[in-house]
Structure 1
Amino acid sequence: MTSEEVFQGFSARKPRNSGTTPSPPSPSTLPGPPPPPTPDLAGTFALFAQLLTHAVSISTSDTIERNNVRDPDLFDGSNSGQLRVFFAQLELVFKARPRTFNSAEKKVTYALSYLKGTALQWFEPYLLEGDSETPPVFMSDYQAFQDELRVNFGPYDISGDAEQELESLQMSNSDRISWYITEFNHLATQVRWGSSALRYQFYRGLPARLKDHICLVGKPDSLLGAPDFGPVLG
C-alpha cells in the first residue's frame, strides 16, 4: 500500500475554500410581506348609502318643519281683538315644528320676536336685563307669557265684548254664508250662552231670504243641524 493510499480518517475541520463563493438566494425566492386584506366594497357602499339616506331624511324633515306653515303676523298691541288670532297663528307654528319648539322658553323667545310697538316695549326692560338673577316667570313660561299679554293688551272683558259683537252680527245679501258661520262660531266660543240663545241669535242675524228658507224646512234643534242653504244661495 502506497502512502497515497493510506486512509487519513475523518476530520472535524471545515474543508478549505475552493475559491468559489455561494450566491445569495434571488429576491424572487425570498418570502414577502403578506398581501393586504381585500376591502369589503359592498359593505362599505352599503354603509355609505345608509348614512347618506339618514342625512337626507334629517335635512328633508328640517326643511318641512321650516316651510310647511307661515310665520305669524306682527302684533303691536294696538288692537286687542287681534291677540287671539296672534295666539292661534303661534300655535300653528308650534304644532308644525315640534322639534324646534320643544320647550316653553323657546316658544316665548319666538313669540317675542313677532312683537312690535307698544307690545314689544312692554317686554323690553326684561330683555335688556340679560341674565338677571330673578327673571320674571313669563320670560320662560309660555302660559305665563300669554297671560301677561292678555292682561296688558287683550280685551278688558272678552266675554262682554264678544256678546256685543254677536248681537250686532248681521249677514247681508252680498255676504257668503260661510263667512257668517265662521264669524258666528268665532264669537260663540267666547260667550257663556246656552244652545237655545245661540240658535236664536244665529237665526236673527240671517237675511230675510234665508229666514224664509228656514221657515219652509223647519228650524233645527241645534246649530250642528243647520239647514242646507244651497238651494237658496244657488
Structure 2
Amino acid sequence: MDKDNSDSSSSSNNDTEVELLREQILQLQEHLTTIQQEIATATNLMGQQAAQNANLQAQAQAVANRREPGTLLKPPAPEMFDRTQTKLQGFITQLQVHFNYFPVTLNTDKRRVTYTHSQLKGSALDWFEPVIREYLSGHRSQRTISIITNFDYFVEVLHQTFGIQDKKRKAEHKINLLTQTGSASVFSTKYLQLLAKTGWDHEHTISHYFDRLKKEVQEELYKEDRPASIHNFITIAIRIDDQQYQ
C-alpha cells in the first residue's frame, strides 16, 4: 500500500514538473518573439535613420561644395504628363519635390515652367507648344507672359485646362442624365454629389432636380409650398417618397 501511494505521489510530482516546464517554455517562446519584434523594429528604424543621415550628409556636402542636392542624389524626373486628369495633381507634387533638389538651377518661376515643358507629352505638349512659340516670337500677350514667368499661374492654367474644367463638364453631363429610378434618398445623394462638382448655384437648381424625380413624387410636391433652399426641397421629396413606399 505504501509503495502504491509513493508511486502515485511521484507520478503527480512528475506531472507538475512537466507542466511547469511547459509554462516556462511558452514564456520563453513569447519572450523570444517579443525580442525578435523589437529587433525588427529597431532594424527598421536604424535603416530609416541611415537613409535620413545619408540624405543630410549629401545636402551638407552639396552646400560645402556649392553643389545642389540633386547633383549628388540624382532623383528621378517626374513622370511625364499627357493630360490624364487623375494624374495632374500628382504630377504637380512631383515637380515641386524635384525643384527642392535643385534650388539654384530651378530657382526662378521661368526656369521651373521651362523645365515643366520638358516633362509634357501628348495633348499636354500640344497645348503648351503654341504658348512657347508665342513667347519666343516676341509678340507676347499678357496671358502668355504670365504663364511663362509665373509658375503658380501656370499651374492654375493647367488645372483649368486639364483638371477642374474637365471634372466640371463630366459632372454636368452626368447630372443631366441622372433620374430617379429607386428611392429618392439614394437619388438625392447622387444628385448632391454631382451638384457640388458643377459649381451651380444651389438656389437655382430646384426645377432641375424636380424634373428628374418620379412622376408620383412630382405630383405630391405640387401640393407643397416650394422652399427657397434645394436642401429643404430635397428633404420634402424624400419624405414624400418614403411615405409612398410605405
After TM superposition, the score normalised by the length of structure 1 is: 0.40
More helix per residue: 2
After TM superposition, the score normalised by the length of structure 2 is: 0.38
